[in-house]
Structure 1
Amino acid sequence: MFIASISIWSTVVALLQVLGSLGIFLYGMKVMSEGVQKVAGDKMRAALSGMTSTRFRGVLTGFFTTTLVQSSSASTVLVVSFVNAGLLTLMQAIGVIMGANLGTTTTAWIVALIGKFSVATIALPIIGIGLPLFFAGKNKGRDWGEACIGFGLVFLGLGLLKDSVPDLRMMMETDPGTAQNIQHIIELLGGHGFGSVVLFMTAGIFLTLIVQSSSAAMAITMTCALNGWFGDIGTNPLGVFQSSAAIVLGENIGTTVTAWLASTGANTIAKRAARAHFTFNVIGVIWCLLLFYPFTQFVWSIAAQLPYGLRTAATGMSQSEVAFATAIFHSLFNFSNIFLLIWFVPQIERIVTWWVKDNAQENETKLRYIGSSLVDIGELSLAEADGAVKKMALLTSDMFDGMIEVFNNPESDLSERVAELKSMENVCDEMLHDITSYLIQCSTHEIGSGNAASITSKLRVVSEFEEATDRIYRMVKIVQRKYVKGRDFSEVQHEELMSSSNQVRMLMDVARNSLVSIDGTTLERAYEIESRVDRLRKRNNKAAAKRMQDGAVVQTEMIFIDLNNHLEAVANHLLNVIQASKREVRVD
């Protein structure tokens, strides 16, 4: 009884050591990813939104982005987020997803190389470099420190994982009962020919679903293979490698679930991007299963050609060969899949378009925060907020043009147009709520100081745009009331209001352009236009007061003054937008 208790306790301790090692690896990956995003977030956003003009450039962009953040799950979630915001087309997204699959293969190479050196010799010095930067550095220095600490923790976690997963042969001597149970499970999965390949692949799917990271699943797979959990490496290294290769295929399917879940509640295009990720990976797994044995034997022959010094390690030649063969298989499989399917991106696009039907009732302006529970992408998610703010600016501009259209056509029945403008104003109200909620959600995650200021700026911008649309719709209602009451403006009054409107329209364009780029000249021009609008308001109101003194219809002149004041108020809101883009604060 006592011996059985000791055996159970040792098993629990061993399991906790494995989980602890895995926790250090996953936490290190999270910290490193967040640090890299803070250091290079702007460049990564620009790359994803601007360097994907062709499917080939999209593949390269996805590869380098995933290599930096070390998570294909984070990259594909980010792609879904960008598609949801309209920053990427479905065709571009498919290319980036293909590249993301190749980028995640770097983890396998890191694990394969772990046996070639003492992990502590590289992990602890990297953490040592990052620690003073993290605590003493400012802004970018602190971000670099965070990235270094995360990178060191990734190596440390992989090293601890390798040491904590027990060697099955040694376990036969220290804990034969547990070892025999593990062997029994492996025997149940193995020995069924191609059926075993399917069983191991299924195990890979479930493993990835559990840890929610293909990188972590890959590390676990290779570590277990190296320690004899898939068979005796000494007598059947090729069979052990083929078992680990089958699990890797399952991990390629399991990793698609993260993006699939992230697309829940997103728009139709984002759902199609997630389905494209699933389709691409499943097609790859299917052709690889059909060619599994010749393909794995080809990979094994390549691994045998590696330099002897690289293939051998302290743990033994066969073990090192299995590790490198698995890394080669993962890279070659993903590279081959890209090479085969990149020519069929339009066909994949048609498949997912047929799969996910268009939603006629879908609100394209709806903004929803899309994130990953494993890796914080708050830093990169700001690109989606940028796209939503630009949509709100365009909607405000269209509303103003619609108001001018109603104002200039007193003889036409534009009731439908007025109803449309009211609908646009309601949409702007919804966008204010959605974008504000989204930005607050982003701010709760780890972001750099520069992006914290950017969030504050965007919150002010969307508030000012919403206030401007409220004013514009009030002007629409005033113009409508003017027509109903039969209050006709003279040609002079019409020209005075149009003169102010033209200035406001110019300021509207400046405000929209300031969301893309702004400098001192832009701000000076904005101040100049707003000052002209203010002077026109004062002049026009004085002229209206003079006309009332001379006996003009008071009700008509009051409508004129109301419109005049609202135009100047819209100009003020637009100037506030430009100042917020410049991260200035207006003093009224």
Structure 2
Amino acid sequence: MEILFGLVGGLGLFLFGMHNMADGLQKTAGHRLKRLLEVLTTNRVTGVLVGAAVTALLQSSSTVTVMTVGFVNARLMTLQQAVGVIMGANIGTTVTAQLIAFRLDDYALPAIGVGVALLMFAKRERVKFVGQVLMGFGMLFLGLEVMTSGLRPLRESAAIREILLSLGDNPLLGVVFGVGITAVLQSSSASIGLLQSMAAEGLIPLRSALPILFGDNIGTTITAVLSGIGASVTAKRAAAVHVVFNVIGTVLFLLAMPLMTPVIAATSSDIVRQIANAHAIFNIANTIIQLPFAGAIVWLVVRLVPDRTRLELLEVPRHLDVRLLETPSVAINVSRDEIFEMAALARETVSLPLSALLENGGPEDVERALAVEQKVNQLNLSITEYLSKLAAERLSNEQSEMVAVLISNAANIERVGDHGENIAELVQVSQEEQLPFSDTAKQELRQLVETTLRAYDLALEAWREADPAKAKEVFELEKQVDAMERSMRASHIERLNRGECHPTSGVVFLDLASNLERIADHAANIADQVVEGRAR
């Protein structure tokens, strides 16, 4: 029972420490992580480097692979780009094993003490994140020490030693064992850390440890496979790439194991370091071997995971993916992209019916505007729900403020869509009743439309570029719209008194002007976030 408690408790500390260290590193990195991911190109080598760097930061290849599946599902990354990132993720995950091999147990408690002190007493948020990293680092090594101590009594068990030794003679059994352990723990770093603890206590030789290590690399793909359930076929293929890559690598290294074992043994006299080196050699060599055949891997997974559905549901948001919520900086970025797409649709709800009115268009433009407005409503609901889930994650103060800005701007854009719907219905009435508008009224309305849409477009541009100067221009345009709307009301009353205007046309005309004036107000609300420095 003492062995079980030590193993379970140590493993819990290890996983908790690794999670806190990764969370602190991610928050410290902030939007640098987003910018790192944005350098992805069709160049697979760049993808490998980015995948390795992000995984080293997050301390989890499973997290990065799941994130990659989310990117593919959100159409932010192609399957070809995903191949390089997944290969790089396997390399990045070797950092934890190398850290463990340094035997930094003596520094675990001081790291926890300093980390907790920074978390409790530091004023600056970034210093608190550093404290979280230190605390996680210390707990990781403390958990490793507890695991190692818990396994120590097993050295006296001849039966356990015999079973573990037999894995060297039955490597396939070792692979299955590694797959099973990693699938249960949902972390190859944890399962490899456990393997290193067993080796440190002399429970398992290198020859038996290698097949388990290879199995650990296959087991870590289970997380990505599970994340692909319910995703697009391309996202499922991205998960399949991870499986195929690691299975092929395991087969190759099992065949080469008689040659590789003495090479790995020669890299260090310490078996814990030998296992860390074997993990690195496996993943780096596997990437070098398979990267030139990335196209063939894509060809294979396309046939393994056929596309049985050809229909694309327009109502489904393009970028939002729950898999990305675990990486808030990325989730914020994709939410922003989705809001800009909603903004383009909201603009259509305004421009289409007014174009139909002023340029003698047909009823189909009005019908399309009304249909697009429904899409805007659906998108707003999806975005708000997604951001609410994101707000429940562990966010930094800066990230929480950015989420609040996104929710506010999405609401303003949705209201623009509502005013677009009002405009479409007014134009529909004018078309059905064939209401006349004077040339003067049309010219005034045309100028108001141009100024309003200019304010709206400039507000979005200012937000996208975080440009306060452009945001201030929006305020000037909004004042112009207010003045134009007041002038139009006065001109309309004069025309009405002179009998130059149809009464019903006048009501529609004033309602159109009022809705446009409200759209300019919402544009100013978006610009205000930029001027205040909240929108980034």
TM-score between both structures, scaled by the size of structure 1: 0.84
The question of 1:406 aligning with 2:356 is answered: yes
| Deviation at residue 167 of structure 1 after TM alignment | 5.1
> How many angstroms apart in 2 are the aligned matches of 1:445 and 1:203?
34
Contact 1:29–1:154 (CA<8 Å) still a contact in 2? yes
> How many angstroms apart in 2 are the aligned matches of 1:17 and 1:391?
52
| Closer, same or farther: CA 283–545 of 1 in aligned 2, 3 Å | farther
Contact 1:368–1:434 (CA<8 Å) still a contact in 2? no
| Closer, same or farther: CA 377–492 of 1 in aligned 2, 3 Å | same
The answer for the alignment partner of 1:136 in structure 2 is: 121
> How many angstroms apart in 2 are the aligned matches of 1:167 and 1:583?
63
CA RMSD of aligned residues (A): 2.3
The answer for the alignment partner of 1:223 in structure 2 is: 197
> How many angstroms apart in 2 are the aligned matches of 1:27 and 1:147?
12
Identity %: 29
> How many angstroms apart in 1 are the aligned matches of 2:203 and 2:110?
32
The answer for the alignment partner of 2:257 in structure 1 is: 292
| Deviation at residue 183 of structure 1 after TM alignment | 4.5
The question of 1:490 aligning with 2:438 is answered: yes
Contact 2:218–2:246 (CA<8 Å) still a contact in 1? yes
Which ranges in structure 2 are unaligned for 5 or more consecutive residues?
none
Residues 360-509 of structure 1: pairs in structure 2 closer than 5 A:
360-363=311-314, 364-365=316-317, 367-370=320-323, 376-410=326-360, 412-415=361-364, 417-509=365-457
> How many angstroms apart in 1 are the aligned matches of 2:94 and 2:333?
26
1:537 corresponds, among 481, 485, 510, to 485
| Deviation at residue 184 of structure 1 after TM alignment | 5.9
| Deviation at residue 111 of structure 1 after TM alignment | 2.4
Contact 2:3–2:153 (CA<8 Å) still a contact in 1? no
Which ranges in structure 1 are unaligned for 5 or more consecutive residues?
1-11, 173-178, 231-239, 312-319
| Closer, same or farther: CA 280–558 of 1 in aligned 2, 3 Å | same
> How many angstroms apart in 2 are the aligned matches of 1:515 and 1:263?
33
The answer for the alignment partner of 1:54 in structure 2 is: 43
Contact 2:70–2:323 (CA<8 Å) still a contact in 1? yes
| Closer, same or farther: CA 508–378 of 1 in aligned 2, 3 Å | same
| Deviation at residue 395 of structure 1 after TM alignment | 2.3
* Residues 443-487 of structure 1: CA deviation (Å, up to 9, x unaligned): 112110001111111110111111111111221221122111101
| Closer, same or farther: CA 581–281 of 1 in aligned 2, 3 Å | farther
2:504 corresponds, among 552, 555, 572, to 555
Q: Secondary structure at the match of 1:370?
A: helix
The question of 1:574 aligning with 2:523 is answered: yes
> How many angstroms apart in 2 are the aligned matches of 1:421 and 1:291?
64
| Closer, same or farther: CA 330–352 of 1 in aligned 2, 3 Å | same
Q: Secondary structure at the match of 2:102?
A: helix
| Closer, same or farther: CA 368–58 of 1 in aligned 2, 3 Å | closer
The answer for the alignment partner of 1:26 in structure 2 is: 15
> How many angstroms apart in 2 are the aligned matches of 1:341 and 1:507?
52
| Deviation at residue 228 of structure 1 after TM alignment | 3.9
> How many angstroms apart in 2 are the aligned matches of 1:20 and 1:379?
32
| Closer, same or farther: CA 97–581 of 1 in aligned 2, 3 Å | farther
| Closer, same or farther: CA 491–88 of 1 in aligned 2, 3 Å | same
The question of 1:266 aligning with 2:204 is answered: no
The question of 1:125 aligning with 2:110 is answered: yes
What letter is aligned with 1:492? T
> How many angstroms apart in 1 are the aligned matches of 2:434 and 2:236?
52
The answer for the alignment partner of 2:176 in structure 1 is: 202
2:218 corresponds, among 242, 253, 261, to 253
> How many angstroms apart in 2 are the aligned matches of 1:328 and 1:251?
15
| Closer, same or farther: CA 264–362 of 1 in aligned 2, 3 Å | farther
| Deviation at residue 212 of structure 1 after TM alignment | 0.7
Q: Secondary structure at the match of 1:165?
A: helix
| Closer, same or farther: CA 273–242 of 1 in aligned 2, 3 Å | same
Contact 1:527–1:575 (CA<8 Å) still a contact in 2? yes
What letter is aligned with 1:369? V
| Closer, same or farther: CA 98–487 of 1 in aligned 2, 3 Å | same
Contact 1:62–1:97 (CA<8 Å) still a contact in 2? yes
| Deviation at residue 356 of structure 1 after TM alignment | 4.6
| Closer, same or farther: CA 263–578 of 1 in aligned 2, 3 Å | farther
The answer for the alignment partner of 1:8 in structure 2 is: none
What letter is aligned with 1:567? L
| Deviation at residue 52 of structure 1 after TM alignment | 4.3
The answer for the alignment partner of 1:316 in structure 2 is: none
Contact 2:55–2:61 (CA<8 Å) still a contact in 1? yes
| Closer, same or farther: CA 293–582 of 1 in aligned 2, 3 Å | farther
